[in-house]
Chain A
């Protein structure tokens, strides 16, 4: 509402143009105020960056002079008559504080009240401005606030001495100085390499939204403590722009307070390798514990099943001992390859079968190198042991001149991504061989069958003139495994 007052508004002896004639707009009003010398009380030793005129009767309307808008990075021509909502430029709570202070000085027509106010630059960066202002009153009621603004040089940045800058540059640690309103002020080269973001790219902006830190406790609690002067340290995980997650031992402390604005000093020490190692160890330990428990379950089953219907205790002990030894031998090989579940076939064969023949010559292994997945180690070990025990009793290793040849070939069924199938043949050569009479199906045979089933193997068992030929065909790697 334009002003109409019976008594003209005035600053000291100067009458202001608030009278019976309404003033069309704040911009024109400002021009008239300038002509009447209303800016004189705002004159300072240092030149101001511009002026503002706030209509308290329409608090959403505030005139900002073109030079002020320009200083804050706005294009004054974009803004019709430079009349804006006060909140577009200034932090509303700060503007309200200025208003309250200015208005409270009822007695004095000497205007001035110096205050700090936070304003937003066009690019979203917060700037502190020093503000001189006084109230224009009509019949004693404040109707306008007229003021000057001077942008405070970004003192927070300047605060960092050159020596500190050297440290920032030389240190390989990530050192970041930032505040909630001004964003990142300093971003060390260590931070550049740790986070994969250049200082230029992050300066003046908040880095949390980009790096999505995960703190062990609520950030609000950490922030409150640091603002209070405490140092906080703890493990924080960050997501870099390329998506990788890193873990840092982070220290946060209050660097300084300027004009009510807390500057944080953040030092991040990369502990990602240690954390990953610990995770890996945890997984390995868990996996190993599971394997051991599983093996004990298998051994208990072996004992129970081997003992059933077996009255010959020495024979039972021998069979059991062989079976457990075979399991142990096969699994010890796989334990040597901690980084990968399973073991190379050649080594498993050598470990399980090695103790049986009288000489190394009597065991011949022939085939390409291939990896046996962990879950196939147990059945493979047990099968090999049963075959070896039989070879020792009746077959290839029953006479000194005999031998056993284990040969294997690999095929791929469905193109390069299909499962690898292995055909493994167990061939016994014994010059004194006589095909055995059919014997009763014992647990050894049942064990062979069950283990073959667990292996997922097709088994073909034939006799040739000089001994047993047994072939096992099974997938040695499922397509989904790597």
Chain B
């Protein structure tokens, strides 16, 4: 399918890139936003996209059943908050960013060793930059001892 976004695909330059994600999960309950994100990631990283998932339960299943190397997580989905998925990713040392319009959730990243929060709506360049940075420097500590609830406090 020809790419619907007017992004220049330069995948030939990136095939050797060790930091290029190959499979990204998107959790986003606003379908249009999720679709735009999907197109952006596919064009920018030439990668596979899982989702966008509108429900935590679906995203959770996808995380458990697939190898992924990055995730973009909206915080509030139809059936609740995304923390169970973030917990699994954190335990597996898989980097992710939160993508949310809730400013008061700024503290949530701290609970996951500084997982970044992209304030929605975020520009394409901000999203791409956040992903690249997270891939270069994933979590500094990989031994979560608290539950997500503790960390969220």
Which chain B residues in 18-65 approach chain A with CB under 8 Å? 29-33, 35-36, 54
What does the 1/0 interface line of B71-110 toward A look like (CB < 8 Å)? 0000000100000000000000000000001111000000
B43 vs chain A, min Cβ distance (A): 11
Q: Which residues of B contact A454 (CB under 8 A)?
A: 29-31, 54
A-facing mask of B1-22, CB < 8 A → 1, else 0? 0101110000000000000000
Q: Is the pair B103, A297 in contact by a Cβ cutoff of 8 Å?
A: no
A298-B30, A450-B31, A450-B32 known; A290 vs B78 contact (CB < 8 Å): no
* Known contacts A289-B101, A293-B101, A308-B5, A300 near B36 by CB under 8 Å: yes
Give Cα A290–Cα B119 distance, bound, in whole angstroms.
10
Question: B76 to nearest A CB, angstroms?
Answer: 8
Name A382's closest neighbour in chain B (CB-CB): B32
Q: Are B30 and A297 in contact (CB under 8 A)?
A: yes
Q: Please, which residues of chain A bring their CB within 8 A of the CB of B6?
A: 307-308
User: Cα distance A309–B3 when bound, in Å?
Assistant: 9
User: B32, A302: Cβ atoms under 8 Å?
Assistant: yes
In the bound complex, residues from chain A placing their C-beta under 8 Å from that of B132 are: none
Q: Nearest Cβ distance between residue B151 and chain A, in whole angstroms?
A: 22
Chain B residues whose C-beta falls within 8 Å of the C-beta of A302 in the assembled complex: 32
- Determine whether B129 belongs to the interface, using a CB cutoff of 8 Å to chain A: no
Q: How far is the CA of A317 from the CA of B29 in the complex (A)?
A: 27
Query: How many A residues face the partner with a CB closer than 8 A?
Result: 25
Q: A290-B101, A294-B101, A375-B29 are in contact. Are A301 and B78 (CB under 8 A)?
A: no
Residue of A nearest to B40 (CB): A304
- Beta-carbon contact of B54 and A297 below 8 Å: no
* CB <8 Å contact, A304 and B31: no
Q: Evaluate contact between B36 and A305: CB separation under 8 angstroms.
A: yes
Question: Which residues of A sit under 8 angstroms from B78, Cβ to Cβ?
Answer: 375
Q: Are B33 and A298 in contact (CB under 8 A)?
A: yes
Contact A300 B121 (CB under 8 A): yes
Please give, as numbers and ranges, the residues of chain B lying within 8 Å of A301 by CB-CB distance.
30, 32-33, 35-36
Q: In the complex, which residues 433-456 of chain A have their Cβ closer than 8 Å to any Cβ of chain B? A: 443, 447, 450-451, 453-454
In chain A, what residue has the closest Cβ to B55?
A456
Closest chain-A Cβ to B21's Cβ sits at a distance in Å of: 21
Distance between A219 CB and nearest chain B CB, rounded to angstroms: 24
Set of chain B residues within 8 Å of A402, measured between Cβ atoms: none
- Which of B54, B101, B104 has its CB near the most chain A CB atoms (within 10 A)? B101
Interface residues as binary, A257-297 with B (CB distance below 8 Å gives 1, 0 otherwise): 00000000000000000000000000000100110011011
Is the CB–CB distance between B5 and A297 below 8 Å? no
User: Whole-angstrom distance from the CB of A173 to the nearest CB of chain B?
Assistant: 35
Q: With A and B bound together, what is the CA distance between A447 and B5 in angstroms? A: 15
Segment 408-457 of A: residues with Cβ below 8 Å from B: 443, 447, 450-451, 453-454
Is A101 in the interface zone, CB < 8 Å from B? no
Contacts of B101 in A (CB 8 A): 289-290, 293-294, 297
Interface centre among A289, A302, A308, A443 (most CB of B within 10 A): A308
B29–A304 CB distance below 8 A: no
Bound-complex Cα distance A346 to B61 (A): 38
**CB-based contact B120/A297 at 8 Å:** yes
On whether A450 and B35 interact (CB within 8 A), knowing A290-B102, A375-B78, the answer reads yes
Chain B interface residues toward A at CB < 8 A: 2, 4-6, 29-33, 35-36, 54, 78, 101-104, 119-121
Q: 25 A-B pairs, CB-CB below 8 angstroms?
A: A290-B101, A293-B101, A294-B101, A294-B120, A296-B121, A297-B33, A297-B120, A298-B32, A300-B121, A301-B36, A304-B36, A305-B32, A308-B4, A308-B6, A309-B2, A309-B4, A375-B78, A379-B31, A443-B4, A450-B35, A451-B32, A453-B31, A453-B54, A454-B30, A454-B54
Interface, chain A (partner B; CB < 8 A): 286, 289-290, 293-294, 296-298, 300-302, 304-305, 307-309, 375, 378-379, 443, 447, 450-451, 453-454
Q: Please give me the 5 A-B residue pairs with the lowest Cβ-Cβ distance, nearest first.
A: A293-B101, A308-B4, A297-B121, A301-B32, A454-B31
